Amino acid sequence: QGQVRVQFTADCWTQVTDGSGKVLFSGLKRKGDSLAVNGKPPFTVRLGFARGAQVSYNGQSVDVVPFTSGETARLKLGQ
């Protein structure tokens, strides 16, 4: 089991998929919102506005910058 948490500092479309391909969350989150999902790693996280989201995995902060192209980010956690 793993946990992905996202704190939003701006509106951001977000999708989190677990290791079995199940979509745990898909939709728009607003500034000030947070998201916490638990599931089976590895997780695929897609962010529509990467600068507007602070991601952590199992309590550890994750730098999304290396996974960002333009405004969007796509990262895998818990591989």
Q: Where are the chain's structural domains?
A: 2-77
Output the CA torsion sign for 34, 35, 41, 45: negative
Task: Give pLDDT tens digits along the chain (79 positions).
Answer: 999 999 999 999 999 999 999 999 999 999 999 999 999 999 999 999 999 999 999 999 999 999 999 999 999 999 8
Provide the pLDDT for residue 58: 98
47 contact partners, CB below 8 Å, separation of at least 6: 6, 12, 13, 14, 53, 55, 64, 72, 73, 74
**Confidence (pLDDT) at 20:** 96
**Predicted pLDDT at 38:** 97
Residue 47: predicted pLDDT:
98
Q: What is the pLDDT of residue 73?
A: 98
